[in-house]
Structures are given as C-alpha cells and as structure tokens.
C-alpha cells in the first residue's frame, strides 16, 4: 500500500441492482442511494440537465427536508456538491424544484424517487474502463445491469443487452465483444486497453457481469476461456449467486463479510440523523 495508516475502508457497490426500488431493506436501498449519489458527483452518472436538476433536488429534499425560508437563505443549495461542476442556472433550477415540487416528501420517499429516476438513465451502474477504438479514438467501456455499453464524448454510442452478447475475448491489449442482434445479425466490436493487465481486468469484469445478470441460476455458471479452444489463454469462473437468485430469495444486498445489523442498529441506520452524517468518501472519477 502506498498510503500510511490509519487506513480508510469504504463500501462500494460492485453489482448494481437492476431495480433498486425493489430492494426490501431500507438500509440496503440507502447504501445504494449513497453509491449512486457518489456516481453523480464524480461524473459517472451522465444525464440531461433536466434529469440532473431533478436528481439533485431529491438529494436536497432527503438531506434538509422541506424548504423553509427561515432556515434556507438565498443560495442554500450551493453548500451541497451534487456534480463535478455546474452552473448558477442549474443551481437555481435545483432550488426551484426543491421549493415547489417536493414538499412533504420524507427522506425515504426522496431517496426512493432518486433511485427510480437514476435507474432509468443510460449510465446507471456504469464503471468506466478507458480504452481506444480501432480508429484510436478514446472510449469508455462499461458493464451495467442491462448489458454492455460504450461511451464516447459523454454519450452512449453502443449498447448490447446481455442476451445479445455471445462471447467476450481478449488477447494482450485487444478486447473483443461478439454479439448476435436482430435477424441473426452477428457483430464483433474491438477495443484496445492501455495495458494487457487492464485488458484482462476488463475481460474478467465482463465475464462476472454477464454471468451475474444473464443467468437464471448459479449452477449454470461455467469456466470461461479468454481465447480460442486451441490456444493457451486465461481461464476464469464467476463465483457467487446470480441476480435472479438474490432478488427471488428476497435477500439483503449486504457486502460479502458484512456483519448484519441488530434491530437496534437498524433503527440507528434508518434515522434521519444517521442519514445526514454518513456519506461515501469521494474518489476521482475515471470519466473526468
């Protein structure tokens, strides 16, 4: 480790729930809310200005409650950092929505509305991997609950749902995505990672996400090879439950190794004061 003690350990969401509003436990929804809030701040959750204003207003309502002229002077929303950067016009729009459209919403309701809005966006659940396309143009590859996506210039240029993706391969720094689209149209997308190690990590992330979101049962998981049958390559197998098993069994999305809270602790976690005091520690965004 490069840093010195004391070390800070932070929770991060690895597999985003396809429908975060369907999570049964409030504390689990809140932790996902914190992760997506962080994604918004670090520029991973890309969206239109109107959507950005709505999301930020939900955060504001969850943090401070209803607008109160006595408590919230002019420019009160500027104390909150919702995005990497934003204009005064957007800040005013956030305040207007908070003042007029969200009156009466509890923190829980605001967080739920935030999750529902975020889940509709193209970049929900994106963990961007920097690459280049065959023309040498920068691109970010990502795997989401719904499929494989490519971002260029802060917009999505390719999307393949998990049912369309048939194979993921890599050789040195080259990453290939094989897919079958409508009318048996077969396509191959090729991208180049910065290093062979980064490419292998990208491939493993893809294999994990495809198994987790596409399969019906963990018993269907198979060991996957990175190359053709007759050539030596890396082999990898996802280990764990798949999304459908987790949701059908109504299990709580706690991180591996976490200690489940007692009823007393859960009451503490879901209290408004706990919500205000606990946030995710910021890290630099790969999209910046």
Which residue range forms the structural domain that includes residue 100? 20-123
User: Among 82, 106, 123, where does a domain finish?
Assistant: 123
Instruction: Give yes or no: residues 113 and 141 share one domain.
Output: no
The number of distinct structural domains making up the chain is: 2
What is the full per-residue pLDDT of the chain (288 aa) written as tens digits?
A: 667 888 888 888 999 999 998 888 888 899 999 999 999 999 999 999 999 999 999 999 999 999 999 999 988 998 899 999 888 999 999 999 999 999 999 999 999 999 999 999 999 999 999 999 999 999 999 999 999 999 998 899 999 999 999 999 999 999 999 999 887 789 999 999 999 999 999 999 999 999 999 988 888 888 787 765 544 568 787 878 888 888 777 544 455 455 544 444 444 444 444 454 444 333 333 343
Taking CA atoms, 62 is separated from 39, 91, 99, 110, in Å, by: 17, 17, 13, 6
pLDDT for 287 equals: 44
Q: Are 134 and 107 found together in one domain? A: no
At residue 10, the pLDDT reads 82
Look up the pTM and report it.
Answer: 0.80
The Cα–Cα gap between 244 and 221 comes to 13
Rounded to an integer, what distance in angstroms lies between the CA atom of residue 166 and that of residue 180?
Answer: 7
Residue 65: the pLDDT is 96
Closest C-alpha among 81, 102, 149 to residue 285: 81
pLDDT value of position 250: 57
Give a yes or no: residue 14 inside a domain. no
74: domain CATH number is 1.20.80.10
End-to-end CA distance of the chain: 24
Round to whole Å and give the CA distance between 182 and 21.
31
- Find out whether the peptide bond into 148 is cis, omega within 30 degrees of 0: no
> CA gyration radius for the chain?
21
The per-residue pLDDT for 254 is 52
**Do 241 and 224 fall within a single domain?**
yes
pLDDT of res. 127: 93
Count of Cβ atoms closer than 10 Å to residue 147 Cβ: 20
Residue 167 maps to which CATH number?
Answer: 2.30.29.30
Rounded Cα–Cα distance for residues 288 and 282 (Å): 13
Any domain includes 136: yes
Give the chain's length: 288
Q: What is the pLDDT of residue 140?
A: 97
CA torsion, points 42, 74, 273, 252, in degrees to nearest 10? -40
Which residues touch 108 (CB under 8 Å, ≥6 apart)?
26, 270
Tally of CA atoms within 13 A in the half-sphere of 69 that contains its CB: 1
Q: Is 8 left (phi over 0), alpha (psi -120 to 50) or beta?
A: beta
Q: Of 18, 41, 10, give the one whose Cα is nearest residue 284.
A: 41
**Structure tokens belonging to residue 288:** 């910046």
């Amino acid at each position: 480790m490069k840093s010195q003690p004391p070390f800070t350990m932070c929770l991060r969401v690895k597999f985003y729930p396809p429908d975060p509003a369907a999570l049964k436990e409030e504390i689990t929804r809140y932790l996902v809310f914190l992760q997506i809030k962080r994604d918004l701040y670090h520029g991973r959750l890309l969206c239109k200005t109107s959507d950005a204003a709505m999301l930020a207003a939900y955060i504001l309502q969850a943090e401070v409650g209803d607008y109160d002229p006595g408590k919230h002077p002019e420019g009160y929303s500027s104390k909150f950092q919702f995005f990497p950067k934003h204009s005064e016009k957007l800040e005013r729009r956030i305040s207007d929505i908070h003042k007029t459209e969200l009156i009466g919403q509890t923190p829980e309701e605001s967080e739920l509305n935030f999750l529902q809005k975020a889940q509709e966006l193209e970049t929900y659940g994106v963990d961007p991997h920097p690459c280049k396309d065959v023309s040498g143009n920068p691109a970010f590859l990502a795997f989401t609950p719904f499929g494989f996506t490519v971002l260029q210039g802060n917009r999505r240029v390719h999307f393949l749902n998990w049912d369309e993706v048939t194979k993921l391969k890599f050789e040195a720094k080259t990453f290939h995505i094989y897919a079958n689209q409508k009318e048996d149209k077969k396509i191959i997308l090729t991208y180049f990672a910065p290093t062979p190690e980064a490419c292998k990590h990208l491939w493993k992330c893809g294999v994990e996400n495809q198994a987790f979101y596409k399969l019906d049962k963990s018993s269907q998981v198979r060991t996957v090879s990175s190359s053709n049958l007759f050539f030596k390559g890396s082999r990898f197998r996802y280990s764990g439950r798949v999304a459908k098993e987790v949701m059908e069994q109504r299990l709580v999305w706690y991180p591996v190794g976490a200690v489940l809270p007692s009823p007393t602790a859960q009451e503490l976690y879901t209290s408004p004061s706990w919500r205000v005091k606990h946030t995710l520690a910021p890290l630099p965004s790969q999209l910046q």
